[in-house]
A and B are shown apart, each in its own frame.
Chain A
């Protein structure tokens, strides 16, 4: 695949001559590299944490899981705060550095963290850093990319990000084969990857002011932008679809219930989904640029609908499991990076961080609400019936969202505010 590199502000022209594909900015690759390294770092730790806690510290994971559930809400708030700070200070790079830095430092703290409170504090710091950095990073990607290639730009970033997520567990377990039982080696290596990632960010990512150098946006104006009609309908559509998105934990669990292979190779389910996601991230991003981001975003949820149906069938073997994982990968490729590509042209650059953060927060909160509701359905109806019901509701949700998003792809991108 052909990707050439340029690094000029998006506002200085409409790209090359007719027929020549606009290029993906070098900054996108740099941010992708930062994400790749950071994901290697964080997934290394995530992969060994359960074993470390039980085998090494003798902690009961039950307590860990209970407290961990609380962070979802906190993480959503931090996300909004990161987006707001981004627009208020207009320094996306340094907001992102703070987020990546906190996560990197949390790794080294794991070595000395012994006991329940310390471990949860460290894990929380990592989560908060992740929530904090996402919006400013996506605002930077949007800022350096031509409006016409946003989908592809985010696709490139998400592909690199997912490569890191896939490599992390392999690196961690490979290390443990080398030094059996020494989890500190994993934490040290994870810290090293995190630091290199932060170094790429600090040294090479340009310190751009996303709104063209102006001062930050006051809170009241920011709020006005977020509730403007341009953004209201997409946010509503994203919320409706988020509310009908069953967490992948439930989907994996349902597959695991009926397929022995899935039960034994449980960790491989994440790997399989990620593999499909990283292969499709760029092509689907390009497709989104060509046929419309809203259309592809909706299409992703049609894939999700198919996952529900495949997972709901009461019996099935390896083939159905693989089909479900493949479709789930399609869903991620068509939604995760496409969402900021869909939202960012509809927000003026000065409010871009908040706009992207708002959309992502809506998704996180809506999915969290759905998890709580779906748990009740799962409990009382059983996995199969609950998934069929979710599928029926999702059909309605897709129809409603398609109406809400009608015309979004054709609309003129928002013109920059002059004041």
Chain B
């Protein structure tokens, strides 16, 4: 009798949990289908047409069948019609005639890929990639590509946990360089050999040698200037992450903790000649590698709370601390300006 009661109780728990889960999943599926059906149609234009002029390439996060696809808008009409490319990326960057695409391939075993794409969005080259896509950049001359991913099993103090892996790969052949293993880090004139070093968020100069990136150790981060020739990374200032070099090469935009809580960042611009930094007018937390719209404005993605999976928009704000943020491209992420 007692066993019967127990079996009945177990049956009830089993049925309730299974039915609840299945009901939740069915409900979610229907909600997703409803959202796709009800989503306002995105104005679409011709890819060839847009690709002939100055443009912005980005990951489209508009709800619908093209969610996650790389799209292109005209630079002078960023919230106008977008043209979809065949590529689907989590993180994309592009220059004239070339793009780099990081994506996770969903499946029973999720794998991660990085590919260099040609002007027709066909795969030109596979890059090594072993973790969740985070940042990527091409050098202005197209000779180098940098990728940053989150990798399991890299963190020294807690094997199996996460840290970043940043690779710089020459596109004309040759092996990838690992910023952590292949470069020396120099902070305040002294080499820093600590085991918990982490490096991420590369931005290239146009001289085929120098780049900027983030170095971290302990609870500190630094803006570093790296050299591909000397294999050195020299810290320029503290508390600066994910640098992005301005088109004229005089300033670096970055995100900074600036005394904020864990996981909160403001964005700022560092003048390389004077060493002075200016906080920008955006007050919300930005976790993105900034892109320069032109020498006076920056672009960055912000997640949008509420409906749909990973809703996000691209915003713009003046690069000198003045003005106020403005919505630039709705339903977009990972912008790259191509002229």
Q: What residues make up the interface of A, taking CB atoms closer than 8 Å to B? A: 47, 50-51, 54-66, 68-69, 72, 115-117, 169-170, 173-182, 184-185, 188-189, 191-193, 195-196, 199-200, 203-204, 247-250, 252-253, 256, 260, 263-268, 271, 371-372, 375-376, 378-380
Check if B248 is an interface residue, CB within 8 A of chain A. Answer: no
Given the interface pairs A65-B158, A181-B310, the reply to whether A192 lies near B164 with Cβ below 8 Å is no
A110 to B263, CA, bound (A): 18
A371 to B193, CA, bound (A): 17
Check if B322 is an interface residue, CB within 8 A of chain A. Answer: no
User: In the complex, how many residues of chain B place their beta carbon closer than 8 angstroms to a beta carbon of chain A?
Assistant: 55
By secondary structure, the A interface counts as: helix
Pairwise interchain contact A64-B162, C-beta atoms closer than 8 A: yes
Given the interface pairs A61-B162, A63-B262, A195-B17, the reply to whether A179 lies near B32 with Cβ below 8 Å is yes
Pairwise interchain contact B158-A192, C-beta atoms closer than 8 A: no
Known contacts A56-B309, A175-B25, A267-B111, then 8 further A-B pairs from the complex at CB < 8 Å, ordered by chain A residue? A68-B158, A116-B263, A179-B28, A192-B20, A204-B6, A264-B130, A267-B109, A378-B156
Q: CB-CB < 8 A to A58: which residues of B?
A: 287, 303
Given the interface pairs A56-B310, A178-B25, the reply to whether A62 lies near B159 with Cβ below 8 Å is no
Q: CB-CB < 8 A to B25: which residues of A?
A: 175, 178-179, 185, 188-189
A352 to B128, CA, bound (A): 49
A199 to B6, CA, bound (A): 10
Q: CB-CB < 8 A to B75: which residues of A?
A: none
Q: Which of A178, A188, A263 contacts B20 (CB 8 A)?
A: A188
Pairwise interchain contact A169-B262, C-beta atoms closer than 8 A: no
A50 to B10, CA, bound (A): 33
Pairwise interchain contact B110-A267, C-beta atoms closer than 8 A: yes
Check if B154 is an interface residue, CB within 8 A of chain A. Answer: yes
Check if B292 is an interface residue, CB within 8 A of chain A. Answer: no
Contact with A along B91-135 (1 / 0, CB 8 A): 000000000000010111111000000000000000011111010
Cβ of B239 to closest chain A Cβ, rounded Å? 14
Pairwise interchain contact A69-B106, C-beta atoms closer than 8 A: no
Check if B58 is an interface residue, CB within 8 A of chain A. Answer: no
Pairwise interchain contact A247-B159, C-beta atoms closer than 8 A: yes
Check if B278 is an interface residue, CB within 8 A of chain A. Answer: no
Check if B9 is an interface residue, CB within 8 A of chain A. Answer: yes
Closest to A174 in B: B108
Pairwise interchain contact A196-B17, C-beta atoms closer than 8 A: yes
Check if B138 is an interface residue, CB within 8 A of chain A. Answer: no
Check if B160 is an interface residue, CB within 8 A of chain A. Answer: yes
A264 to B180, CA, bound (A): 20
Closest to B133 in A: A54
A191 to B159, CA, bound (A): 27
Pairwise interchain contact B20-A179, C-beta atoms closer than 8 A: no
Given the interface pairs A184-B28, A185-B28, A371-B159, the reply to whether A51 lies near B13 with Cβ below 8 Å is no
Pairwise interchain contact B195-A376, C-beta atoms closer than 8 A: yes
A267 to B152, CA, bound (A): 9
Check if B249 is an interface residue, CB within 8 A of chain A. Answer: no
Cβ of B218 to closest chain A Cβ, rounded Å? 9
A188 to B28, CA, bound (A): 11
Which one of B109, B163, B164 has the highest number of Cβ atoms from chain A below 10 Å of its Cβ?
A: B109
- Nearest 5 interchain pairs by C-beta: A249-B159, A247-B159, A181-B309, A375-B156, A69-B158
A195 to B153, CA, bound (A): 30
Q: CB-CB < 8 A to B193: which residues of A?
A: 379-380
Pairwise interchain contact A176-B106, C-beta atoms closer than 8 A: yes
Cβ of B88 to closest chain A Cβ, rounded Å? 12
Given the interface pairs A58-B287, A182-B32, the reply to whether A199 lies near B13 with Cβ below 8 Å is yes
Pairwise interchain contact B9-A117, C-beta atoms closer than 8 A: no
Cβ of B269 to closest chain A Cβ, rounded Å? 20
Pairwise interchain contact B32-A173, C-beta atoms closer than 8 A: no
A200 to B14, CA, bound (A): 10
Cβ of B7 to closest chain A Cβ, rounded Å? 8
Pairwise interchain contact A250-B13, C-beta atoms closer than 8 A: no
Given the interface pairs A169-B109, A192-B17, the reply to whether A61 lies near B150 with Cβ below 8 Å is yes
Pairwise interchain contact B158-A199, C-beta atoms closer than 8 A: no
Q: Which of A62, A170, A195, A253 contacts B108 (CB 8 A)?
A: A170
Q: CB-CB < 8 A to A252: which residues of B?
A: 153
Q: CB-CB < 8 A to A250: which residues of B?
A: 153, 159
A59 to B152, CA, bound (A): 16
Pairwise interchain contact A72-B106, C-beta atoms closer than 8 A: no
Closest to B194 in A: A379
Closest to A252 in B: B153
Q: Which of B18, B110, B131, B156 contacts A371 (CB 8 A)?
A: B156
Cβ of B322 to closest chain A Cβ, rounded Å? 27
Given the interface pairs A192-B21, A249-B152, the reply to whether A62 lies near B216 with Cβ below 8 Å is yes
Pairwise interchain contact A249-B154, C-beta atoms closer than 8 A: yes
Q: CB-CB < 8 A to B24: which residues of A?
A: 184-185, 188
